[in-house]
């Protein structure tokens, strides 16, 4: 299961980012654990200065702006292709 964190203050763009990721995971049939991180100290601990930020399995993969559906799909499916083989 992928662990994904959306970093941000809880603003509209952060909420949209979380929804885009949830929808991508659902469409791909991939189970994820999605956490919203709003604590500024935690966000800065990832080195993210522009939100929303996205962390997948401990690695920052995006910051600043809402990611597109294709980006989110790539994050949730990365490394899962051979899991069912």
For residue 56, count other CB atoms closer than 10 A to its CB. Answer: 20
What number is the average pLDDT over the span 47-64? 96
| Per-residue confidence band for 43, with pLDDT thresholds at 50, 70 and 90 | very high
* Res 80: pLDDT: 64
| E strands in the chain | 2-7, 32-37, 53-56, 59-63
* Catalytic positions: 11, 14
The mean per-residue pLDDT over the stretch 3-17 comes to 96
pTM above 0.85, yes or no: yes
Average pLDDT of span 11-30: 96
Q: Which CATH architecture has domain 2-77?
A: 3-Layer(aba) Sandwich (3.40)
């Amino acid at each position: 299961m992928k662990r994904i964190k959306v970093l941000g203050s809880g603003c509209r763009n952060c909420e949209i980012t979380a929804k885009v990721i949830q929808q991508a995971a659902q469409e791909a049939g991939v189970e994820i654990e999605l956490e919203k991180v709003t604590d500024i100290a935690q966000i800065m601990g990832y080195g993210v200065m522009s939100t929303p930020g996205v962390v997948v399995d401990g690695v920052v993969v995006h910051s600043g702006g809402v990611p597109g559906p294709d980006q989110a799909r790539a994050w949730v499916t990365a490394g899962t292709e051979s899991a069912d083989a």
